[in-house]
């Protein structure tokens, strides 16, 4: 990372939108940049390194370590083989061994939360509300979630006077 000890910033600017919306402004800006190169006020980075897209992973590793600060061109050949990592299977967010407690929210929001927990792998969902399993509609979504075995509890809360 010694190349960056001089507190120099490198930035990327996508000129696609400005070129489409205000082409004359982009033309003027680029003319100024090329004039700086013509006058010697700016110099291109050298050397230019070309590599095959087949070696993309290794070249990116070289750049990441900071051993190289140069202009790089990635060449794509018709029969180039590119390493691709298989997409990782989306894991379950919820542990099937854990119990998930929902307090209240036995209406549509609670049913949606319960459904989402089950989709993400929850096997034991406990819903506590003032009405308990008084309303059949509350308990239905848990049983409809999957053909796999699920445990659910609906508990009523009674206020002592």
pLDDT band at 140 (very low <50, low <70, confident <90, very high): very low
pLDDT by residue (tens digit) across 24-74? 999 999 999 999 999 999 887 777 778 888 888 887 777 777 666 667 778
CB 74 within 8 A of CB 53: yes
What are the Cα distances from residue 154, in Å, to 14, 113, 125, 144, 146?
Answer: 56, 15, 9, 15, 18
Q: How many other C-beta atoms are found inside a 10 Å radius of the C-beta of residue 71?
A: 11
Which of 131, 75, 82 has the alpha carbon at shortest distance from 103? 131
pLDDT at 97: 85
Q: How confident is the model at residue 8 (pLDDT cuts 50, 70, 90)?
A: low
The residue ranges of every structural domain in the chain are 21-82, 99-156
Which residues is 138 bridged to in the sheet? none
Residue 148 — very low, low, confident or very high, per pLDDT cuts 50/70/90? Answer: very low
pLDDT at 135: 53
Predicted pLDDT at 147: 43
pLDDT score of 86 more than 90: no
Retrieve residue 141's tokens.
């979504």
Question: pLDDT value at position 159?
Answer: 53
pLDDT for res 104: 72
Q: Give residue 124's pLDDT.
A: 82
| Whether 4 contacts 65, CB under 8 Å | no
Please say whether the beta carbons of 133 and 156 come within 8 A: yes
Q: Determine how many CB atoms are found less than 10 A away from the CB of residue 127.
A: 25
Main-chain dihedrals φ then ψ at residue 132, nearest 5 degrees: 60, -140
């Amino acid at each position: 990372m010694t190349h960056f000890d001089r507190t120099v910033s490198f930035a990327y600017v996508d000129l696609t939108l400005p070129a489409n919306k205000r082409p004359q402004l982009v033309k003027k800006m680029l003319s100024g940049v090329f004039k700086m190169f013509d006058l010697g006020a700016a110099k291109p980075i050298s050397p230019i390194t070309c590599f095959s897209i087949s070696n993309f992973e290794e070249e990116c590793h070289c750049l990441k370590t900071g051993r190289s600060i140069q202009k790089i061109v990635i060449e794509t050949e018709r029969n180039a083989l590119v390493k691709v990592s298989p997409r990782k299977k989306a894991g379950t967010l919820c542990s099937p061994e854990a119990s998930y407690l929902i307090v209240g929210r036995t209406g549509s929001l609670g049913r949606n939360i319960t459904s989402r927990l089950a989709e993400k792998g929850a096997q034991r969902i406990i819903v506590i509300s003032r009405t308990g399993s008084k309303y059949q509609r509350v308990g239905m979504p848990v049983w409809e979630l999957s053909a796999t075995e699920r445990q659910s509890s609906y508990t009523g809360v009674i206020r002592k006077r």
